[in-house]
Amino acid sequence: MQQLTIIGGGHCSLALSRLMGNMGFYIRVYDNRPGLKTMEENNYAHEKRLLSQYSELQTLITDNENEYVVVMTLGYRTDADVVMALAGKKFKYIGVLGSKNKMQKLKAEFLEKGLPESWLEKIHAPIGLPVQSQTPEEIAVSIAGEIVQIKNESHYHPPTLRFGGQSIGT
C-alpha cells in the first residue's frame, strides 16, 4: 500500500487526506496544534498524531523510498522546522506548500545551515501541479496530481528544487 505522510492538519490536509484516501493510500497526519477542528474531523487519515514540537518527526518518520511526504504546516517557521527534522531522509516524494518567495528564502536558509543541496533538490516546492489552485480542494487536486504522476512513472527522476516551473541553478 502506498503511504502518504502529511505534516499539518489544516483545511488543505483534510482535503488531501480525503482525495488520497479514496485512491487507497495509507495516510498519516501530524500537527502541533491541540484541538484543531480540521484535524479532529479528518476521518480519512489512518493515523493522526499531535506533536509538541515538529522536531519529533526526526525519530517518528524514517527513511522510506515508497513514502510520499507533504509539508503544509501553519507557516514559514514551522515548515522550516519540519524540513530540518526530515533533512537527509529518503522518500519517494517530498513537497512543501508555499509561495515561490517563501521557498527561495527557505532554500537559502537551509543552505546556510549546511543542508546538502543534493537533498534540497529533491523537494518539490512549491508543491503540486501548476494549475493556479485557490481553494483547499483545488490545492489537494494539484498535489494529488503530482503524486500520482510520480507514482505512475516507472523511471521517474526528481526535478531540481523548482519555483514556478523554473529550476534554481546550483
Write down the pLDDT at residue 164.
Answer: 46
Task: Please give the tally of structural domains in the chain.
Answer: 1
C-alpha angle 30-56-68 in degrees, rounded to nearest 5: 50
- The SS3 assignment for 95 reads strand
CA 75 vs CA 79, 96, 99, 101, 170: distances in Å: 6, 11, 11, 13, 26
Write down the pLDDT at residue 79.
Answer: 94
Write down the pLDDT at residue 163.
Answer: 52
The CATH number given to whatever domain includes residue 32 is 3.40.50.720
Range of the domain at 50: 3-167
Q: Which residue has the cell 508543491?
A: 127
CB distance 2 to 151 below 8 Å: yes
**Each residue's pLDDT tens digit in the chain (170 positions)?**
899 999 999 999 999 999 999 999 999 999 999 999 999 999 999 999 999 999 999 999 999 989 999 999 999 899 999 999 999 999 999 999 988 888 889 999 999 999 999 999 999 998 999 898 899 999 999 999 999 999 998 655 555 555 545 555 44
Distance (Å, rounded) from C-alpha 77 to C-alpha 68?
22
